[in-house]
Amino acid sequence: MRTLLKAVRCLACGHEMAPDPDIASCPECGGGWMDAVYDLAALPADWPALVKTRPATLWRYRELLPFPADFHIFTLGEGWTPLTRAVGLERELQHDSIWIKDERQQPTGSFKDRQATFAVSALYDQGIAEVVMASTGNAAAAYAAYTVRAGIKLWVFLSSSVPVEKMRELALYGIEVIKVSGTYDQAKQVAADFAARHNLALERGAKAIPCKESMKTIAFEIVEQLGWRAPDWYLQAVSGGIGPLGVLKGFTELYAAGIIDRIPKIGVVQTAGCSPMVQAWEQNLDAAMPVQPDSLITVLATGAPGMAYKILKRAADQYGGAMVSVSDGEAFRAMRWVARTEGISMEPAASVAFAGLEKLLARGYIQAGECVVVNCSGHTFTAEKHALEDRYLLHLKTPSSPATGAIPKEGLAAALERLDEQITSLVVIDDNPHDSRLIRRLLQSYKNYRVFQAYNGMDGLALVQQRQPDLVLLDLTLPEMDGFSILAELKTDERTQDIPVVVISAKSLTLQEEAYLQRYTDSVWQKGSFSTRELARHVTGILGAQPDELARLLDQAPLKEHEKLVKSFGVGDYKHILVIEDNVWEARLMGRLFESQPRFAVTEVYSANDAWAAIKKNPPALVVLDLVLPDITGLEFLEDLQSQPAGADLLILVVTGKELTIAEKKFLSAQVDSVWPKSTLNRAALLTYVEDLLLE
Ligand SMILES: Cc1ncc(COP(=O)(O)O)c(C=O)c1O
Ligand SMILES: [Zn+2]
């Protein structure tokens, strides 16, 4: 089973290169879109029969895949998904031959697993240990699973519109997830700059050979499952277009090899809110103009499809085909309708293709008797909030220009610098939660580091092994496993031996212990005998923080003013909390409680009227509401909030001294996140709850 790959061709200028699937750019024109070329004449005449004898995975088509025979594959059993006849849809749409390619049944729940197994195996083959990608969610989930298996570190940049459930799904794999405030196309730009800045490999998507070649296997499987026969149509929900590009290439090769008698028509379906291809196609243009996505279906958010459109347009001109858009509402309706008629539930992005099927039939593009295959491209799984630890997500705020939406160069550089700060992580191992918290706050008031905390030795060791932090702050007397044993473990494991350890302990040390620590740690600090500022300066120094203007000011200011200073420099991402409480003294008390968390900024107001003004000026991340107010009752205020766009989506927490009736409790449970009676209020618990709620 050897590959028949014979050359790599540049799509821009046609220049042919050696048959190496990893070639990234053309030496003739600098173009980055590559195509794999195969020696189809050498394909054995009995290839279909030969393929049939092989295991039921997508790897059974090895002759027409770009990898050598000894290539190491990372697999989770992807491919060879069912092709199911959609009897219910056929009946309802009164069309004779509709098939569903059920890509939900892939290891991570979407057809992107095909791409991930190819691309990740290729990265491993090239000896790449770390890779950066931008994604709208599903490709990232697929890459996360396969990079874990291959031992490759993955950095994923997502646009902020990706639902938090999808982000958690990714974080579950322990990869680095960075949310970029901006569009998907901006997240792509930031990912590319981040990769360049850190000299890391960047996932190239549709331009790269492994990605597109992987999607060919959908075409091969469909043809084989139909009895080595071509369908008339292949329909798919399209974002960047890797799927249809690969599928088209697969059909084209089978046609050229004489295995099928025609090249099927491709039906490209996009959400109306992000449909650059459809818009161009409707105007018969050869290139698609970029659009700003405005759709709830965030998985399909490629606003600038580039070359992918040109290729699909050319194919549509040559072999027939069509491009249509459907509204979000039409997609959601199709989602319910297919679940109810076929017993197949899917995510909204996949249902876009089914709404498109309806439209293409209604408009007469698909004609009676034509065999249609629809890709049911995904149904990804979502992780619940409590499944994850704190701070799994990094947030990169890009200052985009309001006029053009573009990110100015200097703004991007500053944002990436702040990200560098955030990806610097520390593990604090201290069994005293008070000390641990103090250390965390102190360091975070200097720089927005990621600080992970463990309260006993075993957890601490595991955390260091998992997180591979830039520094460990270690207490010596710990339950389960003491600091010395942890140190011994860390220093004898090659993955952790170079991580600097700073010891902070109240233990009095023997001379022997002192000598040991001197040898294996960076420094030892006796609890109660050092200035916290000195420690912070030392630690930030080890981590390579530049002494900047802020640090200089921090040095001169008393500790209680640090927080204000840090905020005034706009460092980190703060959560704004609005406290609405008619009793000024209690409002301040509540304000102080939240301000003890360095990432919270608090505004206190004493009436509903002022609350409205504050919400309109700066929408808070959380409203903490007392039900007794001077102007209107808290319940009336809640009703008002619900009826106004600025108020309807606010996260609200009620803290009240009022005795509630059953009806009031019922009303509140539908309107607010939680209710905290003042009589039994545990302030520490409230703070922790709000930290969990707001800080990810
Ligand atoms: C479920 C699902 N359907 C469709 C698409 C669009 O894929 P393509 O990259 O082929 O445009 C994606 C892309 O992530 C997806 O996850
Ligand atoms: Zn070229």
In CATH, what number is assigned to the domain containing residue 279?
Answer: 3.40.50.1100
Enumerate the β-bridge partners of residue 473: 428, 502
* Residue 589 CA to ligand 1 centre (angstroms): 50
Residue 448 has pLDDT above 90, yes or no: no
Residue 32 lies in a domain: no
Domain count along the chain: 4
Residue 96 lies in a domain: yes
Residue 487 lies in a domain: yes
> What pLDDT digit, counting tens, does each position of 125-139 carry?
999 989 999 999 999
- Same structural domain for residues 452 and 472? yes
Residue 444 lies in a domain: yes
- Same structural domain for residues 270 and 361? yes
- Same structural domain for residues 354 and 496? no
Give nearest CA residue, ligand 1 atom 1. 378
Summary mean pLDDT of the chain:
89
Pocket test for ligand 1, best of 238, 271, 278, 379 (most atoms within 8 A of CB): 238
- By percentage, how much of the chain surpasses pLDDT 90? 59
- Same structural domain for residues 445 and 518? yes
Tell me what the mean pLDDT of segment 440-457 comes to. 83
* Residue 193 CA to ligand 1 centre (angstroms): 24
Tell me what the mean pLDDT of segment 321-328 comes to. 98
Which ligand 1 atom lies nearest to the CA of residue 137? 14
Report the pLDDT value the prediction gives residue 546, as an integer from 0 to 100: 52
Report the pLDDT value the prediction gives residue 547, as an integer from 0 to 100: 47
pLDDT band at 43 (very low <50, low <70, confident <90, very high): very high
CA angle 500, 460, 469 (to 5 degrees): 40
Instruction: Characterize 40-61 residue by residue with b for buried, 16 or more Cβ atoms within 10 angstroms of its Cβ, and e for exposed.
Output: beebeeebeeebeeeeeebbbb
* Residue 339 CA to ligand 2 centre (angstroms): 46
The ligand that comes nearest to the alpha carbon of residue 27 is: 2
Which ligand 1 atom lies nearest to the CA of residue 380? 1
Lowest mean pLDDT among 258-272, 374-388, 497-511: 374-388
Rounded CA-CA distance 35/216 in Å is: 12
Which ligand 1 atom lies nearest to the CA of residue 238? 11
Other Cβ atoms closer than 10 A to 105:
16
- Same structural domain for residues 247 and 368? yes
> What pLDDT digit, counting tens, does each position of 280-297 carry?
999 999 999 999 999 999
Widest Cα–Cα separation across the chain: 90
- Same structural domain for residues 366 and 317? yes
Where among 532, 551, 568 does a domain terminate? 568
- Same structural domain for residues 638 and 675? yes
* Residue 300 CA to ligand 1 centre (angstroms): 6
pLDDT band at 548 (very low <50, low <70, confident <90, very high): low
Report the pLDDT value the prediction gives residue 221, as an integer from 0 to 100: 98
Where among 339, 368, 387 does a domain terminate? 387
In CATH, what number is assigned to the domain containing residue 632?
Answer: 3.40.50.2300
Where among 345, 376, 407 does a domain terminate? 376
Residue 26 lies in a domain: no
Residue 55 lies in a domain: no
> What pLDDT digit, counting tens, does each position of 493-542 carry?
988 998 999 999 888 899 999 999 999 999 999 888 877 777 887 888 78
> What pLDDT digit, counting tens, does each position of 391-412 carry?
667 777 776 655 566 666 667 7
- Same structural domain for residues 202 and 87? no
Tell me what the mean pLDDT of segment 368-397 comes to. 81
> What pLDDT digit, counting tens, does each position of 553-609 carry?
666 676 666 666 666 554 546 688 999 998 888 888 998 899 888 778 788 899 888
* Residue 288 CA to ligand 2 centre (angstroms): 21
> What pLDDT digit, counting tens, does each position of 15-36 carry?
999 999 889 889 999 999 999 9
User: Using a 6 Å CB cutoff, which residues line ligand 1?
Assistant: 110, 112, 136, 138-139, 237-243, 299-300, 347, 349-350, 377-378
> What pLDDT digit, counting tens, does each position of 478-488 carry?
988 999 999 99
Residue 178 has pLDDT above 70, yes or no: yes
Q: What is the sign, positive or negative, of the torsion defined by CA atoms of 344, 350, 352, 356?
A: negative
Q: How far is CA 366 from CA 264, 284, 332, 351, 363, in A?
A: 12, 19, 22, 18, 8
Which domain, by its residues, includes 235?
Answer: 70-110+215-376
- Same structural domain for residues 94 and 125? no
Residue 603 lies in a domain: yes
Helix (H, G, I), strand (E, B) or coil at 258: coil
Report the pLDDT value the prediction gives residue 490, as an integer from 0 to 100: 94
- Same structural domain for residues 540 and 602? no
Q: 192: which 2 tokens?
A: 């590319």
> What pLDDT digit, counting tens, does each position of 413-438 carry?
777 877 877 788 899 999 988 888 88
The ligand that comes nearest to the alpha carbon of residue 240 is: 1
Rounded CA-CA distance 432/150 in Å is: 38
Q: How do strand 201-202 and strand 393-397 relate by DSSP bridges?
A: unpaired
Residue 86 lies in a domain: yes
Residue 194 has pLDDT above 50, yes or no: yes
Give nearest CA residue, ligand 1 atom 8. 241
- Same structural domain for residues 548 and 612? no
Tell me what the mean pLDDT of segment 184-191 comes to. 90
- Same structural domain for residues 473 and 509? yes
